[in-house]
Amino acid sequence: MNSENIKALKALLSVPQKIVIVPHKNPDGDAIGSTLALKHYLESKGQQAVVVAPNDFPKFLKWMPGANSILNFERDNGAAKKAVNEASVIFTLDFNHLGRIGQMQPFLEESNATFVMVDHHQAPADYANIMYSDVAMSSTCEMVYNVIEFLDDLNTISEDIANCLYTGIMTDTGSFKFRATTSRTHRVIADLIEKGAKNTEIHHNIYDTNSPSRLHLLGCALKNMVILEEYNTAYITLSQEELDTYNYKKGDTEGFVNYGLTLDGIRFAVIFIENKEEGILKISFRSVGDFSVNQFARNHFEGGGHDNAAGGKSDLSIEETTKRFKKILIDYKAQLTS
Ligand code: 5GP
Ligand code: MN
């Protein structure tokens, strides 16, 4: 964050504000962790702050301190709209264009609040008055830690804040192994543990609370995996029928896409998940090395994200989409095999 933006943020928070904090749709650990941590921090400074999420989030994140207070725009529509209408400041965390918040988009577009963006994705839009965008960052949670440091308040980080920030850094770095994990990330993590983050408990809460049906769904996904050796690519499909068979709950497919990358030589892994209600396939893309899935998702599947992790969607059926996908791959053969 440059000094001008830090100064502007300090000025903004030097007087009482009505603050709304917004994560992206289908919020993950980093989105929920960063928004809740910021809420706890702002409240400790005497501000009024509420997290308004576009929709629900997985059960494995519901233990997080403050999770009960999150307004869900789908479920708590009246209260959520009221909070957005009355906000003098809106923080948008872990996304960088308003198309990522689904049905909330028009309400934020109409708002006269001061917008603050904190985000680590590629190609930020320009809706924010105060912007902290850095694609080199491991996670939005690491950036919220930096924001607290810019505001000279590291000593105010409570156990709750530490637990929230630890969670998002852990989930967005694949437990501290992805490329954006730096020595600085580890220093931040060390400080969060010193400030009370319960690291072992957090790992357990996020990763070791499987249901039998989720493991069976994973079995189904792995059975469906198609390996395209000539492209160093593996993809998985899950139909709505398969999701229903295994009693799919939000968050159950989290991490499935990564299994493709555990195959020796595979550089590009994809999962196509049917969502009958929305009439789309939700797609996750992952890569190792220089192949940019952000660019791939942007070019062909109305999505985006990071170089090695991105998302997108398709309006076609599973069969039509995978057929199209395989046709597109032909143009990437050199990149994927060089
Ligand atoms: P996931 O595959 O875990 O849903 O998302 C991977 C990364 O891509 C995350 O950082 C997520 O925020 C981003 N992402 C997921 N879906 C979309 C999308 O439809 N559009 C854009 N721009 N980013 C996405
Ligand atoms: Mn993130």
Are the C-beta atoms of residues 12 and 18 closer than 8 Å to each other? no
Please count the CA atoms within 13 angstroms of the CA of 260 that sit on its side-chain side.
28
- Bridge-based pairing of strands 309-314 and 71-72 is unpaired
| CB contact burial 298-309 (16+ within 10 A = b; e otherwise) | bebbebbbbbbb
Atom number in ligand 1 closest to CA 94: 12
23 lines ligand 1 (CB under 6 A): no
CA of 289 to the centre of ligand 1 (A): 18
List all residues 6 or more positions away from 293 whose beta carbon is below 8 Å from its beta carbon. 268, 285, 286, 287, 305, 306, 307, 308, 309, 310
Task: Tell me the per-residue pLDDT of 49-103, one tens digit each, with 9 for 90 and over.
Answer: 999 999 999 999 999 999 999 999 999 999 999 999 999 999 999 999 999 999 9
pTM surpassing 0.75? yes
CA distances from 236 to 92, 228, 260, 318, 324 (A): 32, 11, 8, 10, 15
Residue 251: count other Cβ atoms within 10 Å of its Cβ: 18
44 class by beta-carbon count within 10 Å (0-12 exposed, 13-18 middle, 19+ buried): middle
List all residues 6 or more positions away from 274 whose beta carbon is below 8 Å from its beta carbon. 237, 238, 239, 240, 243, 281, 318
Atom number in ligand 1 closest to CA 303: 20
Q: Which of 22, 25, 28 best tests ligand 1's pocket when mutated (most atoms within 8 Å of CB)? A: 28
**DSSP H or E run through 268:** strand 268-275
Q: Which one, of 79, 49, 82, lies nearest residue 66 by Cα?
A: 49
Task: Tell me the per-residue pLDDT of 318-338, one tens digit each, with 9 for 90 and over.
Answer: 999 999 999 999 999 999 999
Integer Cα distance of 138 and 248 in angstroms: 29
306 alpha carbon, closest ligand: 1
Task: Show the CA angle centred on residue 61, arms to residues 57 and 67, nearest 5°.
Answer: 80
Integer Cα distance of 211 and 123 in angstroms: 37
Q: What is the reported pLDDT for 52?
A: 99
- The values of phi and psi at residue 250, to 5°, are -45, 130
93 lines ligand 1 (CB under 6 A): no
Q: What is the reported pLDDT for 86?
A: 98
Q: Which one, of 152, 155, 117, 108, lies nearest residue 137 by Cα?
A: 117
Written as one string, the DSSP assignment of 294-334 is HHHHHHHSS-EE-SSEEEEEESS-HHHHHHHHHHHHGGGHH
Integer Cα distance of 268 and 10 in angstroms: 43
Q: What is the reported pLDDT for 328?
A: 98
Are the C-beta atoms of residues 130 and 9 closer than 8 Å to each other? yes
Q: Please measure the distance between the N-terminal and C-terminal CA atoms of the chain and give it in whole angstroms.
A: 37
Q: What is the reported pLDDT for 280?
A: 98
CA of 171 to the centre of ligand 2 (A): 9
Q: Spell out the per-residue pLDDT of the chain, length 338, in tens.
A: 999 999 999 999 999 999 999 999 999 999 999 999 999 999 999 999 999 999 999 999 999 999 999 999 999 999 999 999 999 999 999 999 999 999 999 999 999 999 999 999 999 999 999 999 999 999 999 999 999 999 999 999 999 999 999 999 999 999 999 999 999 999 999 999 999 999 999 999 999 999 999 999 999 999 999 999 999 999 999 999 999 999 999 999 999 999 999 999 999 999 999 999 999 999 999 999 999 999 999 999 999 999 999 999 999 999 999 999 999 999 999 999 99
Q: What is the reported pLDDT for 308?
A: 96
Task: Tell me the per-residue pLDDT of 123-135, one tens digit each, with 9 for 90 and over.
Answer: 999 999 999 999 9
Integer Cα distance of 132 and 145 in angstroms: 12
306 lines ligand 1 (CB under 6 A): yes
